Amino acid sequence: MPPSPADNLDLVHVRPAFGGIHDYSEAVHRVLRSAHPGVRIQVLTVRSSSSPRSEGRRLAREIESLPGLVLADMGSGDRTIFWSLHHLRADRDYVLTVHDPGVFIHQLFRLPGLTGGPLPIRAAAQLFGRALDLAVARRLFRQVLARARARLVLNPSTRELWGSPLSYLPQPVYEPVPAVHRPPEPPRVAYAGYWSAAKGLDELLGAFEALLPRFPRARFVIAGESPSPGDRWAASFLARARRTSARIELPGFVASSEFDAFLRGLTALVLPYRAEIPGAGSAMLMRAQQAGVPLVVSDTPFLRAQVNPENVTIVPPRDAGALADALARVLSDPAPFEEKAAREQGRIYAEHGDAAVASVLGRLLACGPADSR
């Protein structure tokens, strides 16, 4: 077999220091190295900075000192990586993966707000500052997106961002070989991820409260926390969850090294998102699909785009009663839901396995498939 051009390719992978994106990028590295054993990958991991613009300039200089095509992963609110791409030479090639296109960057410049004066004036000044920030940032966003060799997204339902077309990259499986899932005893149902009202956690808590007396042996878990320190909604939700029952476990974020074991110990994973959640690729959903865990998800466009509806349980968003009824069916008779989850796992490994992802990456990186025969 003749060598592929990618077998001698240099890549500079710039990624934020965020557990979900770290795991995703490690899976991408595994896929590339398996398909193209000679590929060389230099990883630059970027932490949050209080001075993202100046840190972005420094990062751009570091990138410029390294050879190869730049792969840049951008999660929600990652200003430093954005600024590094903005400051790169115009002829430097990069491929941009936008992990959360509905959010992208919350606020680019962090304009100072008023610290004194009446509250209505301070609130109006804050709104004006955000509008001004967005107006100024819009042109910069579009420039960075337009300059990319390719713009990738992990959910097929999102086709464009800020006027630039997006290419779909199947999110690679984290483990190359599927594992058999066995329902735990006693039963355990969980949500895991960031906390916000838009994630449907009010409905989830209502469903759990309804299920507690019906299933006295079952355990219920709400893992994660708010991404924003001092989040009043999250603090209020935490207090309500603690008051509801000691059988509702609140472990915080599950460590990446323990997450697969956490998933294997579930009867079902619940993602009760509301429709206003952005159209990102859900890493949480993907991890559960590849683990063969039964899934109960709300009927939102971006969740539906990532599942085969015949293999998961779909409920209307914002409906605690329907969510409770769906979970009751899973807890009462797990076997048929295990069968559906196994079919979903098989689909994921067929569509998101190493060979499928390597083929897409090869085309997007203009390096051809590993085997052209």
Q: Are residues 245 and 320 in the same domain?
A: yes
58, part of any domain: yes
pLDDT at 331: 98
pLDDT digit string, tens, across residues 44-95: 999 888 888 899 999 999 999 999 999 999 875 578 898 999 999 999 999 9
**CA-CA distance, 1 to 122, in Å (whole number)?**
67
The least confident of 12-16, 73-77, 184-188, 251-255 is 73-77
**What is the model's pLDDT at position 263?**
95
In a domain, 85, yes or no: yes
pLDDT digits (tens, 9 = 90+) for 321-342: 999 999 999 999 999 999 999 9
Task: Read off the tokens for 135.
Answer: 């107006």
In this predicted structure, what is the pLDDT of residue 372? 29
What average pLDDT does the structure give for the chain? 86
Predicted confidence at residue 226, as pLDDT, reads: 86
Q: Is the pLDDT of residue 1 over 60?
A: no
pTM over 0.75: yes
Whether residues 226 and 289 fall in one domain: yes
**CATH number reported for the structural domain that contains residue 225 in this entry:** 3.40.50.2000
> Does residue 243 sit within a domain?
yes
pLDDT score recorded for residue 280? 57
| Lowest pLDDT segment from 45-54, 120-129, 245-254 | 120-129
What are the residues whose beta carbons fall under 8 Å from the beta carbon of 35, sequence distance 6 or more? 4, 6, 354, 358, 361, 362, 369, 370
Q: Is residue 183 part of a domain?
A: no
Q: Say if CB 269 and CB 171 are below 8 A apart.
A: no
Residues 240 and 265 in one domain: yes
Are 148 and 277 found together in one domain?
A: no
pLDDT of residue 132: 65
Q: Give the model's confidence band at 371: pLDDT under 50 very low, under 70 low, under 90 confident, else very high.
A: very low
> 114 lies in which domain range?
5-172+353-364
Whether 179 is in a domain gets the answer: no
Q: Could you read off the pLDDT of 303-315 as tens digits, one per residue?
A: 998 999 999 999 9
Residues 13 and 76 in one domain: yes
In a domain, 65, yes or no: yes
Percent share of the chain, pLDDT over 70: 84
Residue with tokens 């004006």: 128
The pLDDT of residue 3 is: 45
List Cβ<8 Å contacts ≥24 apart for 161-167.
Answer: 161/98, 161/101, 161/104, 162/104, 162/138, 166/98, 166/101, 167/364
Residue 32 in domain: yes
141-200 residue pLDDT tens: 888 989 999 999 888 888 888 788 988 899 999 888 999 999 999 999 999 998 999 999
Same domain, 134 and 33: yes
Q: CA-CA distance, 146 to 279, in Å (whole number)?
A: 20
**Is the model more confident about 140 or about 281?**
140
- Partners of 153 in the β-ladder: 168
Tell me, what's the pLDDT at 21?
Answer: 82
Residue 7 reports pLDDT greater than 60? no
**pLDDT at residue 134, as a whole number:** 66
Neighbour count for residue 53 (Cβ, 10 Å): 17
Q: Is residue 198 part of a domain?
A: yes
3-state secondary structure (DSSP) of residue 370: coil
Say if residue 17's pLDDT is above 80. Answer: yes
Residue 217 clears pLDDT 70, i.e. is over it: yes
pLDDT value at residue 136? 67
> 300 pLDDT exceeds 70?
yes
Does 63 share its domain with 208?
A: no
Single-letter amino acid code for the residue at 62:
E
**Is there a single domain that holds both residue 162 and residue 197?**
no
CA distance to 75, 138, 149, per residue, from 163 (Å): 19, 11, 15
> What is the secondary structure of 68-112 as a DSSP string?
SEEEEEE-TT-HHHHHHHHHS-TT--EEEEES-TTTS-S-SS---
Whole-number pLDDT of residue 373: 28
Q: Of 26, 31, 24, 18, give the one whose Cα is nearest residue 364.
A: 31
Same domain, 312 and 360: no
Beta bridge partners of 251: none
Looking at the structure of the chain, the number of domains it has is 2
Q: Mark whether 221 and 167 lie in a shared domain.
A: no
Instruction: Please compute the mean of the pLDDT values over residues 235-259 and round it to a whole number.
Output: 94
Task: Give yes or no: residues 144 and 238 share one domain.
Answer: no
- Residues 149 and 47 both lie in one domain: yes
Distance, in Å, from the CA atom of 176 to the CA atom of 343, rounded to the nearest integer, reads: 17
Which CATH number belongs to the domain containing residue 101 in this structure?
A: 3.40.50
